[in-house]
Structure 1
């Protein structure tokens, strides 16, 4: 049904672009790449016309996401003589939301889209008091079926990571391997950061560097479990890659690249000390600004990519997107949980006003 609408429903460009946006959000747009690419010219034609804020913002974002270089000058028509966005736009919540999403496609030096982000963010925050109060309720915390006594047990989070990285069906086996690796790394991270004592960690590090099953003899029982999980997982993955691609990757997987050191300080604490900031919130604000600038650099680079390296670059961008999805709220309990994101993306039915089932 989606392919039929893409091929024949050209009388309403907003409806067509909204469908493309929905397919991309669901992670299934790759099924319709040819149809979507053929509609790019229509998006170019649309974006240069006189349309509302929602339509222009949506078409601009879709074109940028497809790797087309589009000038943000298309938004000049929504600005007043003082070079600011017109205040009456704040009443158009749908348009403001679309403008805010589009503003994240800015590249370094694009002051217009940076201004669009600040303008839309300000008015969207101000409008929250008028929304359904149920939207402001705290999301239920993630319940874990099997929680280790000292470590995080987050299979849903690991799964969400892999879906964000490789959403296409042909990467199913890759998702499984990466999810297993991430799950084990979460446990090891907690062993090093909070549970293991220094003497135990020295023994464990030595065992990993030697990559010898006999090295676990002097480890405490809980570390033997961690080591065997890591050892078996790495070797299993290495055997699969060797069998299917003829490449022995275990030396690369076990290579020591990180510097030895003591406790690892958080980025917030480092930023606060380096810049002489008084509060944690000031440091968070500075890091948010750094993230925004990094996204501008990534957006610029993605436009210049060749088709040859596009799959690798796409996965790298997906890693950045998924990282921000999972970590952007920090410890804010009011934010949607990983379980909520999983349910809304993959489990709960999709309701589209006016849609007709096949």
Structure 2
């Protein structure tokens, strides 16, 4: 989208290079076809697994959620990664809705055990939709392992994925219990849990596995303890999400957001809580920038970039306290510019 703007500005310059401009337009259109194919493959996957029929509460947000893998890295050579990530982001959204709005606490505890123990038998007594979501996860993990086999680190990748999924759903079940009990945690409690339940560790592992960065050193760095740069990125995403969506979430039974937790801990008004959280987001960016500079000699730069970019895409999706994922009309122009309208050559 920004590339389209740059080309438009450049074309208006009196001394622009027409050949260079035409190449830029052709390159944009070729990449757009690539992105459209990736979104189309995700749509086929969605229909094949019949999420719309078997998981009736599932939101189909394939084009909108594609902006995550696109933002993480849009280069042509990472097409395989984006194809898998497009499915993974859709799956995590279904998982989010399963914990937030569908399952009972008893069902969710069983479902959590199924994922943490990697054992489908825990889903046998659950409604069909849980089994569909669990099986989709297993298939995605198989796909990641198969595609990353060339790295020679398949066993370590599988272990890393399992641990990330376990950590991920642990954060969700904590929030589900808070909601079930009507408990409003302190802002500090909320943040301590929030860094785990966005799936960013899982996303980063997927990029490492499919982006040809799957070394023991990099996988251990991302898996053994959540690095500060990833914690900060996850918190930026969670806090900006909460600023944009908490009013909508208050319309249904839902765990308290960062806004309510901040108001409780500090006795703030809603507007004061907004300002406090914005400052917290700025501090997270300072942590990310500092960690990036410390790590850039040891961790591949594209890995660090993808982690930072996950925070950037959330700031875009939830800027001005708006939620472009829930209110898709706010997103239409961006989807059209990226995926539908070619640049006129």
TM range (shorter): 0.5 to 0.7
Deviations 1:155-198 (A, max 9, x none): 01221111000110000000111111111111011111111011
Distance of 1:283 and 1:164 partners within structure 2: 29
Deviations 1:275-322 (A, max 9, x none): 21122x332222223223433444455566646532222222211111
Indicate how the Cα distance of structure 1 residues 234 and 335 shifts in structure 2: closer, same or farther if over 3 A, else same: closer
Distance of 1:288 and 1:226 partners within structure 2: 34
The corresponding residue for 1:320 is 311
Q: Does residue 265 of structure 2 align to residue 274 of structure 1?
A: yes
Structure 1 segments unaligned to the other structure (5+ residues): 3-8, 29-143, 352-356
**For 1:227, which of 134, 139, 159 is the aligned residue?**
134
Deviations 1:56-75 (A, max 9, x none): xxxxxxxxxxxxxxxxxxxx
More helix by proportion, 1 or 2? 2
**For 1:286, which of 266, 270, 276 is the aligned residue?**
276
Distance of 2:315 and 2:16 partners within structure 1: 29
The corresponding residue for 2:102 is 195
Asked if the contact 2:296/2:304 (under 8 Å) is kept, the reply is no
- Provide TM-score, normalisation by structure 2: 0.54
Deviations 1:123-160 (A, max 9, x none): xxxxxxxxxxxxxxxxxxxxx99855313221012211
Distance of 2:154 and 2:131 partners within structure 1: 28
- Provide TM-score, normalisation by structure 1: 0.52
Indicate how the Cα distance of structure 1 residues 149 and 165 shifts in structure 2: closer, same or farther if over 3 A, else same: same
Asked if the contact 1:159/1:179 (under 8 Å) is kept, the reply is yes
Asked if the contact 1:27/1:167 (under 8 Å) is kept, the reply is no
Q: Does residue 70 of structure 2 align to residue 167 of structure 1?
A: no
Distance of 1:213 and 1:314 partners within structure 2: 35
Matches within 5 A, 1:198-217: 198-217=105-124
Distance of 1:165 and 1:326 partners within structure 2: 14
Query: Aligned with 1:337: secondary structure?
Result: helix
Q: CA RMSD in A?
A: 3.9
Higher RCO structure, 1 or 2 (CA under 8 Å, sep 6+): 2
Query: Aligned with 2:66: secondary structure?
Result: helix
Deviations 1:79-122 (A, max 9, x none): xxxxxxxxxxxxxxxxxxxxxxxxxxxxxxxxxxxxxxxxxxxx
Q: Greater Rg, structure 1 or structure 2?
A: 1
**For 1:338, which of 315, 318, 331 is the aligned residue?**
331
Q: Does residue 158 of structure 2 align to residue 250 of structure 1?
A: yes
Deviations 1:241-277 (A, max 9, x none): 2355432222221222245522343112212222211
The corresponding residue for 1:89 is none
The corresponding residue for 1:241 is 148
My pick for the range that moved more, 339-348 or 151-160, is: 339-348
